[in-house]
Chain A
Amino acid sequence: QVQLVESEGGVVQPGRSLRLSCAASGFSFSSYGMHWIRQAPGKGLEWVAVISNDGSKKYYVDSVKGRFTISRDNPKNTLYLQMNSLRVEDTAVYYCAKGEGGHYLYWGQGTLVTVSS
């Protein structure tokens, strides 16, 4: 069965960096685009970034452009989100999700990232 397991988040100071990972199993990872989606406390879902199946195309929400980098290691079936210059407003639960036909059937369990001094 499809499984997406995010790494543990954590508490990080503003301006610092953190890398999230998402280990995938149960499907042909290299065949699918993968996404990061987040939910800030008390807010709705917000799409963050997408990477194509081969890693050649990447897109980001405007608020993270230039600070976050999505990447993937297909032989390791792992998705990453490198988050630099973190801001308080980046505090959220981050989910990885398998992209298929524009919707998300499979999601990770979510990992909390708290940006605070």
Chain B
Amino acid sequence: DAKTTQPPSMDCAEGRAANLPCNHSTISGNEYVYWYRQIHSQGPQYIIHGLKNNETNEMASLIITEDRKSSTLILPHATLRDTAVYYCIVRGHYNSGYALNFGKGTSLLVTP
């Protein structure tokens, strides 16, 4: 699976958009980009995923560059409850029963 690089931490003011970047320059054609988040002392929560097209759901939007080497998770109106560690994961090949390989993620702090 391709490796991902994320900033270790970010701040965002409540009510503003939070834009979380992720680099995955070695991604291959059949690998998907997944985003999860983990609120303190809870299990990780699925947010969104995509292959090449931009995706949007009730939680967030995912913007993938045309060359697919990077992506951005957008939380359009961040709230205090969005404070969490956000993980960008690239998954393609069968490995470990399709388990997800979590890196260190980005710790997002939403401030009042």
Q: Do A and B actually bind?
A: no
